[in-house]
Structure 1
Amino acid sequence: MDQVRDRIRFKHNSLSTESTCISWIKQFIIFNDERHPTEMGTAKVERFLTYLATRRHASSSTQNQVLSAI
């Protein structure tokens, strides 16, 4: 997560953006049985986005935000 925070701060994003990105990444990790994101491929990301769309009824803008965070 330190690398994520560093990258967001390097891009001069707001603290709320940082917080939101970290939150989505944590949810992604938990959804995938707490595996490190580098161990997962495109299929895991697609599965998580599908879950958000079908089970949590996330909007397309939310899904885009999650994809950017991941």
Structure 2
Amino acid sequence: MVNGAIEGFVRAAAFELRRSARINAVSPGLAEESLGVFGPRNPGRLPVPMSTIAAAYARSVEGFQTGQVLLAE
């Protein structure tokens, strides 16, 4: 429910912001580096390299899109 609320907020807030401001969200998935700790609680999920997650965050900050949920999968 929390993820849905954040994604909905990002999409709605993008329409309210002035043109020069942007808002995006990143959905990182399960990081490879945390597989040992969180892997047993996430059966069936494929781990994502941290470099892929970092690229999604960079895209959200440096890109031109707004109101997007960027998946790091």
Same fold (TM over 0.5): no
- Higher percent of residues as helix: 1
Higher strand share goes to which structure?
2
Q: Which of 1 and 2 has greater Rg?
A: 2
By relative contact order (CA 8 Å, sep 6+), the higher-ranking structure is 2
TM-score, normalised by the number of residues in structure 1: 0.29
